[in-house]
Structure 1
Amino acid sequence: MSNVELPQGTHFQQAGKRVLEVERNALAQLDQYINEDFSRACEKIFQCRGKIVVMGVGKSGHIGRKIAATLASTGTPAFFVHPTEAGHGDLGMVGSGDIVLAISNSGESDEMLSLIPMLKRQHIPLICMSSNPDSRIGKVSDIHLCIKVAEEACPLGLAPTTSTTATLVMGDALAVALLEARDFTREDFARSHPGGTLGRKLLLRVSDIMHTGDQIPYVDSDALLRDALLEITRKKLGLTVICNNLMTIEGIFTDGDLRRVFDMDINLNDAKIADVMTRGGIRVGANILAVDALNLMQARSITGLLVAEGDTLLGIVHMHDMLKAGVV
């Protein structure tokens, strides 16, 4: 395959920076359209008892899918329907109580216009995003959100570039304004993202991943140091807890403490664990978020935590558990 030579005078960085400048300027101008119409749209969507049905054709459709996804993940039930498919049966997905958010830069999309009579007969509220409030869709919509831009970043003025960015940002503005109005929390967000890292970080609790029962490394205070070392080796968590038969915590001994013991000039065979253990031990409750336990480990530069209720040992959570659960 022959090499294709770049034309002389090609400046990729210059072209890229020009696009950023054009789109930055357009977004600065978009501020004027966050107005009373925007407030009315937010109020209408906030009060919606059904779902927000987003529609758009071509690049507007691609942007519409993202807006629907953002709304749905931030507390506003929404989904995308392609107008062409809506004209061939999918309009049945739109029901009483729903709102249609129609996206068309020109406001003259034939596919959208063909659906409007049926939407009107069903008394479905119509919010339109377009660059022209006097377009046919703009005129029949209940609320019009203007997304007009001065120019496309495409030097030909043809490829939707700045206009799609403006549409996307207007959709984000709607979603975030509604999120704040609903007092939507991090936990609410995690509930719609249970399969991802964010969901694991925000929903997973220490009780979900801690070691319990026979997995807990522990010895009593009368045990020899060598017995404690064997327990650390068997359970492979890098530590052992010193507690009585009621699992009342007296102290902790880690593989890091062993290095300190080497400097104490004591007989490793005869020393009792009670003489070299660290009393107490850093502990957390079973119900705290795993990510909070991880933050505590990192702050204290340790790899394991005691999970306890008061002085009663319930389990052990280790940094490796965080890694396996995807919290890190």
Structure 2
Amino acid sequence: MEYNGTPKCDSGASGKDLNQRSVEICHSILQHILKDQTKIKISFDWHQIDFCKQFCDVYFKTESKSLYQNIQRLSLNYIYDTKLLEMLSLNIKTLEIYAISNFESNNMYSFISKQNKLREFKLHGYLYRPLVALSKQANFLLSIELVYIDFCEAPRDLLKGLASCRELIQISIKYCTSADDGLLEPLASSRFPNLRDIHFEESTKAWVKLMKNLIKNNSEKIEHIYYKPSSDDLSIINGRETTDILKIVKEYCPLIKNLSVPAISQDDFESFKRFLEDSPQNLQSLVIFLNKRHKYPIPTAQHILEVINVE
């Protein structure tokens, strides 16, 4: 079930009356059907601040607490009142947090910590503090996705909780900035015996180094690698990093099925050729990204087709 708390405006109603009616209607309808739901997405229009606050006050009542106990998939977006966390299930398996504004970190920390076997955690936005609580889910968490997180002022030990989640199967990092080697060291030195999927998108140089370490340290079961560096980082898109990753994958990942990497330079084409000629046995898909900012000659499609004997 998905609820988007943005009211429809009409010329004959004041904003206050409209919000009140919208809240009452939603509350009346949802209390009849929510008790049987296991999935809910709660989101609000950022521009309807008054409605958001009113919704939290009216809808998330103490007497309605039993309505939320079956929820297993929860997506939160632009929530203003942390009191709603007290009403929600502690048996959530998939938790997504999108751009929460003014959330007190202690409330979110407690909410995540108390979950009974959280399996998937997705954090989208610029609030990184909830990551500390992941240590409480170390024996259960299987998938982590971080999107648009700015680690500029993050404490050095921020990722220790995530590093303790040894059951992880998937690690996905997209458009995250300001991370350095010191911050990422706990992850770089950790072992994730069941890791199968690594996805780094628009990553900077520190994240690329982390990817290499993750591959080397957890190679036994890795099947999917997606590596697309930041288009603004010229130190990455010179093609050398791709060559290094191909070598590492070939040496450490016998089960690799899907590999996505940037283009290499023609100077490194021999390394790429050797990878194709003696590619891992299970490789099913190889994707090569081209970037308009590449300043070096890259192998043409004909070069590649000749290597893999396609006429």
Q: TM-score, normalised by structure 1?
A: 0.24
More helix by share: 1
Structure number, greater radius of gyration: 1
Q: TM-score, normalised by structure 2?
A: 0.25
For CA contacts below 8 A with separation 6 or more, give which structure has more relative contact order: 1
